[in-house]
């Protein structure tokens, strides 16, 4: 859903790296694109979720076939299965040098020359923005009529002339891609391909006779319900209309993301989902609705979409749980943000400022998720502005950081053509289910991403073999450790991955000798590590089953990590697990281990596996044939390509070590497995033995004894605090008595020695100042807390009239101490690094006050 183009999953087929399983295809792809999120609601066509229809040819038909098929579908009558567009309303563009496409449109289709326009790379050449396949395209546009803009075709106006379908003639390999228009064509692809894309939402709003995509039958019901909840009418106010459209779009997009297994988070796809949901909440807020509305809006959206996506209804409990929890969480943050904003606005008024600082608005936005729209609205109600220029500058810097991060993360569509010749030799056979060693030969070596004939001692390289026993990281299970050995060389395996479908690549360090193409090689799995890793993987399946036994079917896996001796398991659940529940899950898991359940694996079709009740997990890609792993029969039945134990008893022991939140309605359990679990329990037992011995308390009464000691300690701490407070009170008269004239001002400037905290110094300063309130007095005290000097200075009103400012005096004193500080004119605080400089700091204060 998050790919920059529908072609991305097909890149291995388009480039010929992986043989296509079919020569033609047609699809409808769910897509999320937020590049133009700020335009949502403002235009007729921008949406964050859309359904992209397309057809593909992998070396089969080319330009004439694609153009003919497109024209037939668009212009055939609905009775004949077409879309029924009138030919006179359709225009096309072609790449500026593509005479062949222009000729097909004129000669084969019969389109008048005046409705065929030539355009450059920016408009009529398509690629992903990364090195790889690309090609010129031909786009088909619908003329919406004079009411929507000037004539002259899509070259003049792309609002009146709306793009319907893009036909990409994918035929060239690109390198040095710097922008949409700045790239280098390095040659032809091994075959000529077709990639087309037509948005269902655009077709729908044109065919349904509405004004924009937000008013089509799959989106409009949400807009109407938002109108009812807000009491405002759609069509009455332009600003409100934009908000209604944002809500309708974002609610549907969020629901489809949740349906696909995405959960709210602070990074990656989870952040995209969170941002969409918060923008919807914000828009409802700006429409005057402050209470939760997702139970209403999401339900309406489900009913509008479920005919096409029945999984929305069958998986509604999970989808709605996440949605409602995220809205509740954000509403609480909005409440907290409002409190912080109110405080900031009061301070701005107190200082006579007419606006809120841009840094404060950005802090509210970035830390609390508080939308700038609401900040502007609330500040306006308080009669204040917001430094929008400063806010926008901070936002710009953040976007630049995000873009730089995004550029560094574009590995998902990196050029994989380097693997073409290796993949052309066939799929890598994984023999590691049954064997730990296997003889093979080296068919490929890459160093720094480039093919080489050999690699020598000390180099890091990728090694390609036709068969291997080393497991490539997938399904939450980390890659095997091991070696690859041959005559005169030994390679330490540091990673195993699948860079393209069907191909396994071993990243190795050449430990000794040198390895070359064609060398005989034997893969050797680190047996001890494999056994511990597969025990953790099987234990993950048991924990999943135990969670579902305990919590019900709503506890579904959302991610996992399995390595030797350790497992991490994320699952959908809306609240923390009680100690009793965690103990029950642990007990069920270990009971299954003790029952020595059989572990069976079967290969079958995906449909057969689902019919048998096997769980397909989000984040995994499954082919037509899948591997099903049963532990204890149907009790634990999952689609899984990982390695596993033969019987559950081989796992040994599972000890849950933690349970925590990883997002709204998402929890994580962690556990140690096998010998690692035993060592952890043995360590805890030693700690218990030491405590029972030290406290002279039986083990079964240890918890009560520790609670008793803790209560006694708290009582003692309170008594100590009371004694220290009393002691502080007793020092106040002594400090006041030490007051001496410094010019026209009475000054108390004393070193206190060691103090408990800065609060102690602050208390003494404020109380001594109260005793001197009738005089022009300055109280400056310096104590040492945690081996560092702390300065607090207070001034009376008459002292301030004479020019004494506490903030300025603190900066003077802390400068002498090697630190800094500040505050208000009446009370300020700071700290330093050098306690030996306290006498110098006091002397500087004496001179400064005397000079006033």
Mean pLDDT of 600-618: 85
46 labelled as ligand-binding?
Answer: no
The CATH fold of domain 428-525:
Elongation Factor Tu (Ef-tu); domain 3 (2.40.30)
Mean pLDDT of 545-569: 91
Q: Give the whole-number percent of the chain exceeding pLDDT 70.
A: 96
Mean pLDDT of 89-116: 96
Hey, where are the domains in the chain? 8-213, 217-410, 428-525, 530-682, 731-850
Condensed to tens digits (0 to 9), the pLDDT of residues 482-533 reads: 999 999 999 999 999 999 889 999 999 999 999 999 999 999 999 999 999 9
Instruction: Report d(CA 39, CA 498) in Å as an integer.
Output: 38
Residue 617 has pLDDT above 70, yes or no: no
pLDDT at 246: 94
For 520, the enclosing helix (H) or strand (E) is strand 520-525
Between 344 and 259, name the one with better pLDDT: 259
Does residue 567 contact residue 561 with C-beta atoms inside 8 Å?
Answer: yes
pLDDT at 664: 61
| 527 beta partners | none
Q: What are phi and psi of 605, to 5 degrees?
A: -70, 155
**Taking each helix axis from N to C terminus, what angle separates 238-259 and 316-350, rounded to the nearest 10 degrees?**
140
Instruction: Report d(CA 413, CA 416) in Å as an integer.
Output: 8
Report residue 366's pLDDT band, with 50, 70 and 90 as the boundaries. Answer: confident
- Strands (E) across 442-488 are located at 444-447, 450-451, 454-456, 460-464, 467-468, 482-486
3-state secondary structure of 648: helix
The alpha helices in 287-424, defined as continuous H runs, are: 294-305, 311-314, 316-350, 358-368, 372-381, 388-408, 420-423
Between 73 and 348, name the one with better pLDDT: 73
DSSP of 62-81, one letter per residue?
-HHHHHHHHHHHHHS-GGGT
Contacts of residue 147, defined as CB under 8 A and 6 or more positions apart, other chains included, come to none
Instruction: Report d(CA 644, CA 562) in Å as an integer.
Output: 11
Between 6 and 704, name the one with better pLDDT: 704
Instruction: Report d(CA 462, CA 439) in Å as an integer.
Output: 18
Instruction: Count Cβ neighbours within 10 Å for each residue of 230-253 and write b for 16 or more, e otherwise.
Output: bebebeeeeebbbbbbbbbbbbbb
The CATH fold of domain 530-682:
3.30.980
Biggest alpha carbon distance in the chain?
107
Nearest CA-CA partner of 128 in 78, 179, 89 = 179
pLDDT at 573: 86
Report residue 553's pLDDT band, with 50, 70 and 90 as the boundaries. Answer: confident
Which residue bears the tokens 């918890």?
703
Query: What tokens were used for 140?
Result: 């088909």
Structure letter (DSSP) for residue 700: G
Query: What tokens were used for 809?
Result: 């005096």
**Class of 731-850 in CATH:** alpha beta
Residue 534 has pLDDT above 80, yes or no: yes
List the single range of 170-174, 722-726, 768-772, 786-790 with lowest mean pLDDT.
722-726
Cβ burial, residue 704 (10 Å; 0-12/13-18/19+)? exposed
Query: What tokens were used for 203?
Result: 């077709």
Mean pLDDT of 415-422: 81
Report strand pairing: 467-468 vs 429-430: parallel
List the single range of 284-293, 436-445, 479-488 with lowest mean pLDDT.
284-293
Residue 394 has pLDDT above 70, yes or no: yes
537 labelled as ligand-binding?
Answer: yes
pLDDT at 574: 76
Instruction: Report d(CA 682, CA 501) in Å as an integer.
Output: 44
Mean pLDDT of 400-426: 67
pLDDT at 211: 87
Report residue 620's pLDDT band, with 50, 70 and 90 as the boundaries. Answer: low
Does residue 186 contact residue 177 with C-beta atoms inside 8 Å?
Answer: no
Mean pLDDT of 429-448: 96
Instruction: Report d(CA 628, CA 616) in Å as an integer.
Output: 10
Instruction: Count Cβ neighbours within 10 Å for each residue of 719-754 and write b for 16 or more, e otherwise.
Output: eeeeeeeeebeebbeebbeebeebeebbbbbbebee
Instruction: Report d(CA 309, CA 390) in Å as an integer.
Output: 45
Instruction: Report d(CA 163, CA 154) in Å as an integer.
Output: 8
Instruction: Report d(CA 571, CA 554) in Å as an integer.
Output: 9
| 7 beta partners | none
Q: Tell me how far CA of residue 251 lies from CA of 36, 226, 244, 284, 329, in angstroms.
A: 17, 11, 11, 11, 16
pLDDT at 381: 67
Residue 412 has pLDDT above 50, yes or no: no
What is the pLDDT of the chain when averaged over all its residues? 90
Mean pLDDT of 271-291: 90
Mean pLDDT of 393-402: 79
31 labelled as ligand-binding?
Answer: no
pLDDT at 721: 78
Mean pLDDT of 567-593: 93
Between 828 and 261, name the one with better pLDDT: 828
Does residue 531 contact residue 432 with C-beta atoms inside 8 Å?
Answer: no
Mean pLDDT of 803-820: 91
Mean pLDDT of 101-117: 96
541 labelled as ligand-binding?
Answer: yes
Mean pLDDT of 667-694: 94
Condensed to tens digits (0 to 9), the pLDDT of residues 118-132 reads: 999 999 999 988 889
Report residue 240's pLDDT band, with 50, 70 and 90 as the boundaries. Answer: very high
Residue 36 has pLDDT above 80, yes or no: no
Does residue 831 contact residue 791 with C-beta atoms inside 8 Å?
Answer: yes
Instruction: Report d(CA 639, CA 604) in Å as an integer.
Output: 10
Is CATH 3.40.50.300 correct for 8-213?
A: no
Per-range mean pLDDT, top range of 9-23, 361-375, 610-624, 677-691: 677-691
CB atoms within 10 A of CB 162: 19
Query: What tokens were used for 851?
Result: 């000079």
């Amino acid at each position: 859903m998050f790919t920059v183009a529908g072609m991305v999953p097909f890149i291995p087929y388009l480039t010929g790296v992986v043989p296509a399983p079919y020569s033609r295809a047609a699809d409808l792809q769910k897509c999320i694109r937020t590049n133009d999120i700020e335009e949502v609601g403002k235009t007729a066509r921008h949406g964050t979720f859309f359904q992209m229809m397309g057809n593909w040819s992998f070396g089969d038909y080319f330009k004439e076939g694609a153009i003919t098929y497109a024209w037939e579908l668009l212009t055939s009558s609905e009775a004949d299965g077409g879309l029924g567009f009138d030919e006179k309303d359709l225009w096309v563009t072609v790449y500026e040098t593509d005479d062949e496409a222009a000729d097909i449109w004129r000669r084969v289709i019969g389109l008048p020359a005046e409705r065929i326009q030539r355009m450059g790379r920016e408009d009529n050449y398509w690629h992903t923005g990364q090195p790889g396949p690309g090609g010129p395209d031909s786009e088909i546009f619908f003329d919406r009529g004079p009411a929507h803009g000037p004539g002259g075709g899509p070259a003049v106006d792309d609002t009146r002339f709306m793009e319907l379908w893009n036909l990409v003639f994918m035929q060239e390999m690109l390198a040095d891609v710097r922008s949409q228009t700045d790239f280098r064509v390095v040659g032809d692809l091994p075959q000529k391909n077709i990639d087309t894309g037509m948005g269902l939402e655009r077709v729908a709003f044109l065919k349904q006779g509405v004004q924009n995509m937000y008013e089509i039958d799959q989106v409009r019901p949400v807009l109407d319900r938002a109108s009812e909840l807000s009491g405002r009418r759609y069509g009455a106010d332009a600003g409100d209309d934009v908000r209604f459209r944002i809500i309708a779009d974002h609610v549907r997009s969020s629901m489809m993301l949740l349906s696909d297994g995405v959960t709210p988070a602070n990074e990656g796809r989870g952040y995209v989902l969170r941002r969409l949901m918060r923008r919807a909440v914000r828009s409802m807020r700006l429409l005057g609705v402050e209470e939760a509305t997702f139970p209403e809006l999401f339900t309406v959206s489900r009913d509008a979409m479920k005919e096409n996506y029945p999984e929305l209804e069958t998986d509604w409990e999970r989808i709605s749980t996440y949605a409602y929890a995220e809205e509740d969480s954000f509403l609480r943050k909005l409440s907290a943000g409002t409190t912080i904003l109110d405080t900031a606005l009061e301070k701005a008024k107190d200082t006579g400022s007419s606006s809120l600082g841009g840094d404060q608005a950005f802090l509210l936005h970035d830390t609390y998720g508080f939308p700038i729209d609401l900040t502007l609205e609330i500040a306006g109600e308080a009669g204040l502005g917001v430094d929008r220029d400063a806010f926008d500058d901070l936002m710009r810097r953040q976007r630049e950081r995000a873009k730089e991060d995004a550029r560094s993360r574009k590995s998902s569509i990196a050029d994989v053509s380097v693997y073409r010749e290796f993949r052309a030799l066939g799929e890598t056979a994984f023999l590691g289910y049954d064997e730990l060693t296997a003889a093979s030969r080296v068919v490929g070596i890459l160093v720094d991403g480039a093919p080489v004939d050999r690699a020598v001692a000390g180099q890091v390289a990728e090694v390609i073999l036709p068969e291997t026993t080393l497991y490539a990281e997938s399904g939450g299970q980390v890659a095997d450790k091991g070696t690859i050995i041959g005559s005169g060389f030994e390679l330490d395996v540091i990673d195993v991955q699948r860079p393209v479908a069907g191909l396994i690549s071993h990243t190795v360090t050449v430990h000794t000798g040198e390895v070359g193409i064609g060398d005989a090689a034997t893969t050797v799995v680190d047996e001890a590590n494999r056994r511990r890793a597969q025990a953790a993987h099987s234990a993950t399946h048991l924990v999943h089953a135990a969670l579902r036994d305990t919590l019900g079917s709503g506890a579904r896996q959302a991610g996992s990590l399995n390595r030797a001796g350790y497992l991490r398991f994320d699952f959908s659940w809306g609240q923390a697990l009680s100690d009793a529940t965690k103990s029950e899950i642990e007990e069920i898991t270990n009971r299954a281990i003790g029952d020595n359940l059989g572990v069976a694996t079967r290969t079958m079709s995906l449909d057969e596996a689902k019919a048998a009740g096997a769980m397909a997990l989000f984040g995994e890609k499954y082919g037509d044939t899948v591997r099903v792993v049963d532990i204890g029969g149907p009790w634990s039945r999952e689609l899984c390509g990982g390695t596993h134990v033969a019987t559950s008893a081989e796992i040994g022991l599972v000890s849950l070590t933690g349970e925590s939140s990883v997002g709204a309605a998402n929890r994580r359990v962690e556990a140690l497995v096998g010998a690692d679990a035993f060592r952890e329990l043995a360590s805890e037992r030693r700690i218990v033995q030491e405590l029972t011995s030290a406290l002279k308390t039986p083990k079964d009464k240890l918890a009560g004894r520790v609670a008793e000691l803790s209560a006694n300690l708290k009582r003692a701490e309170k008594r100590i605090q009371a004694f220290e407070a009393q002691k502080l009170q007793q020092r106040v008269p002594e400090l006041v008595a030490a007051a001496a004239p410094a010019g026209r001002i009475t000054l108390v400037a004393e070193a206190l020695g060691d103090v408990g905290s800065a609060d102690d110094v602050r208390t003494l300063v404020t109380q001594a100042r109260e005793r001197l309130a009738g005089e022009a007095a300055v109280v400056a005290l310096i104590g040492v807390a945690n081996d560092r000097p702390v300065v607090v200075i207070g001034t009376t009103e008459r002292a301030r009239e004479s020019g004494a400012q506490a903030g300025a005096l603190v900066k003077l004193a802390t400068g002498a101490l090697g630190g800094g500080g500040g505050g208000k004119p009446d009370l300020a605080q700071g700290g330093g690094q050098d306690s030996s400089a306290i006498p110098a700091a006091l002397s500087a204060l004496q001179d400064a006050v005397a000079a006033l």
